[in-house]
Amino acid sequence: MTSSSALVSLLSLLAALMISVAQGACTTLLTTEDAQYVFVPKGLDPGLYPPQGNVPIAQLFAVGAQHYTANGTAWVLTNATADLFNSRFEKVGVHFYLPQVDPMGGQPSWKTTSPPSLVTAKRLFTVQVHTNSIAWALLKATSSEDSCGLFGDVTYVQRLFTLNGLPPSTAPTKINATFSSSYTSFYVFYKQL
């Protein structure tokens, strides 16, 4: 083999590697098995369902906390942070609030790092299903990034099956006091058909 043909085969090997890495970037930690775990009960308050034409692509389990700050008279929700797990309990992403509300009014966000993707949404509707847990909710996406990743092109997010996460039932006594309240929930992510 001449050195130039060796170089050509090295270059084509590198090109093939780069293509497989690029394709690999489009795989997610979700399997077809995950789609079978999407469970959205029928008969909920109609406000909790996204419009027809949106289909669930994943249901992730969230373990985290709702963060509250005292404004003087009340506990105000200021952030939420959670880890997101697929049906095999592998961590696939995180939930958090953007530092600022986005131009479309969205702040709650869900993010994957590998491959990267982000969706931000605003609340459309909430209903208190259990008195000792945060509301169930429907959120509409205000922006999303990286269609290759799980959350790219997501249109709606539902928060269902919440457990705990409420602020203290007594009014705060100190301004700017903070309180983090552990919670779990499922988030269901929708895309347009």
CB of 109 to ligand NAG, least distance (A): 9
CB of 180 to ligand NAG, least distance (A): 11
CB 59 within 8 A of CB 157: no
Give residues 40-79 in contact with ligand NAG (rule: CB under 6 A): 71-74, 76, 78-79
Does residue number 99 form part of the binding site for ligand NAG (CB under 6 A)? yes
Containing 115, the helix (H) or strand (E) segment is none
Comparison of 12 and 78: residue with beta carbon closer to ligand NAG: 78
Comparison of 71 and 113: residue with beta carbon closer to ligand NAG: 71
Give residues 110-169 in contact with ligand NAG (rule: CB under 6 A): none
Cis peptide bond prior to 115, omega within 30° of 0: yes
CA-wise closest residue to 156 among 183, 193, 185: 193
% helix, strand, coil for the chain, step of 5: 15, 45, 40
The residues of the shown chain that bind ligand NAG, judged by CB under 6 A, are 71-74, 76, 78-79, 81, 96-97, 99, 175-176
